[in-house]
Structure 1
Amino acid sequence: MSPPDEEATSLARGNVAPQQRPRGPHPLPAFLQIVAEAVGGDRGRIATVLAGVRAYQAHPYRRDLPAPPTVAQVGSVRLLDYGGSGRPVVFVPSLVNPPSVLDLAPGNSLLRWLAGEGLRPLLVDWGHPGQAERGLSIDGYIDERLQPLLRAVESPAVVGYCLGGTMALAAALREPPERLVLMAVPWNFEGYGEQRQELAGAWCDMAATAEPLGAVPMDLIQPLFWQLDPAGTAAKYERLGRLDPDSDEARAFVALEDWANDGPPLSLPVARQCFEGFYGDNAPGRGAWRGDPASLPCPVLNLVSTRDRIVPAGAAPAVGTRVDIDAGHVGMVVGAKARKLLWEPLRDWLRT
């Protein structure tokens, strides 16, 4: 496993303020190794991938959206208000990668769209973990950060995405919201099959590097995502290298890749609980963590991606009204068909 670079190490230790890093992929040596294995060492394809990487790094697009106001804050975790009227809906994103995937770009923002559709979306922004968050596990983030923010909103619906959905579901088992939506949420980690033990085993190498840093920088986590779909990782950069840089498709790629290559470090307790307690022990799926989702008294909409390589459909919790979505983990939220497949059904269910 490639070590994080100097800037990632400084960010993980809290020696410098979080700021936008030069474009990735980070760490580049691990990326190139995974790509080379994915294309069987084909030098022509590797050259095409590198051309795509250079096109990405040089692209002029930068995300430029007005920042929503903060309406509540606990520690470094804020609740952002996207305006609108009607039912308040609190979105809980994953602790991994920034929350901006739900507010990705002009014309491709689920939250800003919902604000114009008779709802009042609010977003949990986990922020860069401060000293108070360095000792928090996933349970700590739920009990000491998420729950107080949810209590600050009167009778909200709650929407959780990815690991954020796991946390939202766990919170709901203690304090049920008006209604709950789960989007690509892992709960039964047996659904990862053989990948489950591979991911759990990766923690041993990761911990040896992360523990001296006091946190887990994204540079250590990112290669795990690439390894879930090495062929797709190579193919997307090959495709970018052939695109017109001025095309909408190229700009959409850059916007999404900027999000995917960004993110604050995770606290050590969060990472340990995720890899050991979830992937390793399957505590949620065994009913040994927080309770049984089937006991929830509130309405639940369970949106499951059928082409998800990050959260396999088999890992979804058995709860609520399940709706299968023919898109990938990220594509279901920001892909070309996301509005029809997810945005509109989500709006309709929340407004019912």
Structure 2
Amino acid sequence: MLRERTAASPERRAAILAGLAAYQRAPRPAPRPSRPVIASAGTATLRDYRAPGGGGAPVVFVPSLINPPHVLDLRPGNSLIEALAARGLSPMLVDWGTPDAEDRALDIGGHVTDRLLPMLASLDRPPVLVGYCLGGTIALAAAALAPVAGLALLAAPWRFSGYSDAARGDIAALWNSGEGGCDALGVVPMEVLQSGFWRLDPERTLDKYARFGTLAPDSPEAAAFVALEDWSNQGAPLTYAAGRELFDDFYDADLPGTGRWIVGGTRIGPDAPGCPMIEFVSRSDRIVPAATSPMLSDRRVLDAGHVGMIVGSHARDTLWNPLGDWLSGVSLTR
């Protein structure tokens, strides 16, 4: 991609490569301590982020299967979960873990029925679910199958026909080229998924490294870039079945958006959960465009990117506080 996009500009190529080298050698802080595990199912765990004195219904954050869950608790001072715990809420975070050989046949629906629902059942009261990206798709299905106190969706895809024809074509080509190797491995490596994200906005992918190369290595901006970029380049593989369902049944056939996705024997639709619901979407989201959302009646539209809405410089005002207000109204009264 670098060769193709910089063929006419050796200077730009050199700047991008210099920025990439600077990113690779940038210092990293020590990893944050892991939070206590309060429930588990298979390789998945539920981690406790409650602060002393937290109350109300548990607020369970359901992250995507793609990339690690800690984008919701990225770093001190830039943590959605930390901010909500400080408001007296009771946040918990699902960590999907790393699939093993026995998980090959575990599809996305299986992550709902065999991973998420057993952990929710271990709680002493119905939780509020907050699902981010594909985790929102999973959370909506869970809310249709088990009692929950509320459901908040953050940039969650549901109507996959809302992707442009060009985007769906690129995604299909990616799967067609990689499916055979994934089948042989039994998993879909993160590298396969990451190359698909790069195709969504190749110029931005390259230019961000050129910009990083201009930052002082010890600046707060550089530290923030490294933390976010490390997160975006990490992640356990998907099980083969989850990858096949994502590419074939979601992106290609749009089973959720056409009311044909069946989980645990139940047909799942955005009107199924009988609980308070809200969704936050972004006009500028290239990974999950606003047109792909479930279109809930309480729909907040933001001007932020897919990740920027969670950890961007304006996230506290545009997402954290409105979400916290809504959660307080739901969880602390139930």
RMSD over aligned Cα, in angstroms? 1.3
Aligned residue for 1:282? 254
Given the alignment, which residue of 52, 57, 64 partners 2:19?
52
Q: 2:307 aligns with which of 321, 326, 330?
A: 330
Whole-Å separation in 1 of the counterparts to 2:205 and 2:98: 27
Letter aligned with residue 91 of structure 1: F
Whether 1:341 aligns to 2:314 is no
Q: What is the CA distance between 1:63 and its match in structure 2? A: 5.0
Q: Please report how far the alpha carbon of residue 38 of structure 1 lies from its aligned counterpart in structure 2 after TM superposition.
A: 3.3
Q: Is the 8 A contact 1:52 1:237 kept in 2?
A: yes
User: Residues 305 and 324 of structure 1 are in contact (CA less than 8 Å); yes or no, is this contact kept in structure 2?
Assistant: yes
Instruction: Please name the residue that 1:26 is paired with.
Output: none
Q: Deviations over 1:313-344 (max 9, x none)?
A: 10011224000011000000001111111111
Give the structure-2-normalised TM-score. Answer: 0.93
Which of 159, 167, 170 does residue 188 from structure 1 map onto? 159
3-state SS of the aligned residue for 1:91?
strand
CA displacement at 1:133 relative to structure 2: 2.3
Q: Could you say which residue in structure 1 is the equivalent of 2:264? A: none
For the structure 1 residues 40 and 63, does the alpha-carbon distance in structure 2 shift closer, same or farther, using more than 3 Å as the test? farther
Distance 1:333 1:321 in 2: 19
- CA distance in 2 between partners of 1:157 and 1:93 (Å): 14
Which residue does 2:110 correspond to in 1? Answer: 140
The equivalent of 1:161 in structure 2 is: 132
Distance 1:236 1:283 in 2: 35
Residues 309 and 329 in structure 1, CA contact (< 8 A), matched pair in contact too? yes
Letter of the 1:62 partner, please give it.
P
8 Å contact kept, 1:83–1:120:
yes
Tell me the CA shift for residue 176 of structure 1: 4.3
Structure 1 unaligned runs (5+)?
1-33
Structure 1 residue matching 2:280: 3-state secondary structure: strand
Q: Distance in 1 between matches of 2:5 and 2:280?
A: 31
TM-score, normalisation: structure 1: 0.88
Residue 275 of structure 1 deviates from its aligned partner by 0.1
Per the TM alignment, residue 212 of structure 1 is displaced from its structure 2 partner at its CA by 1.6
Who is 1:172 aligned against? Answer: 143
- Would the aligned equivalents of 1:90 and 1:123 in 2 still touch at CA under 8 Å? yes
Shift, 1:61, TM fit: 2.2
Asked whether the 8 Å contact 1:161–1:184 carries over to 2, the reply is: yes
Question: Do residues 291 (structure 1) and 268 (structure 2) align?
Answer: yes
Could you say what secondary structure the match of 2:199 adopts? helix
> Aligned AA for 1:117?
R
Report which stretch shifted further, 158-167 or 294-303: 294-303
1:126-157 alpha-carbon deviations (Å, 9 max, x no partner):
01112332220011111000111111222210
Percent sequence identity is: 49
**SS of aligned partner of 1:60:** coil
- How far is the alpha carbon of 1:296 from its aligned partner? 2.8
8 Å contact kept, 1:72–1:79: yes
Code of the aligned partner of 1:266: L
Gaps of 5+ in 2: 262-266, 330-334
1:81 aligns with 2:48: yes
SS in 1 for 2:61: strand
Question: Does the CA contact (< 8 Å) of 1:80 and 1:122 recur in 2?
Answer: yes
The 5 A counterparts of 1:96-115 are 96-115=66-85
Give me the whole-angstrom Cα distance separating, in 2, the residues matched to 1:63 and 1:127.
Answer: 20
Aligned residues: 319
Partner deviation per Cα, 1:11-68 (whole Å, 9 max, x = no partner): xxxxxxxxxxxxxxxxxxxxxxx23333454211111010110010000123532211
Q: 1:250 aligns with which of 186, 204, 222?
A: 222
Q: Residue 313 of structure 1 aligns with which residue?
A: 290
Once structures 1 and 2 are overlaid, which stretch shifts more, 280-289 or 34-43?
34-43
Give CA-to-partner distance per residue, 1:91-150, whole Å, 9 cap, x none: 000000000101111111111221111101000000111233222001111100011111
1:211 equivalent among 162, 176, 183: 183
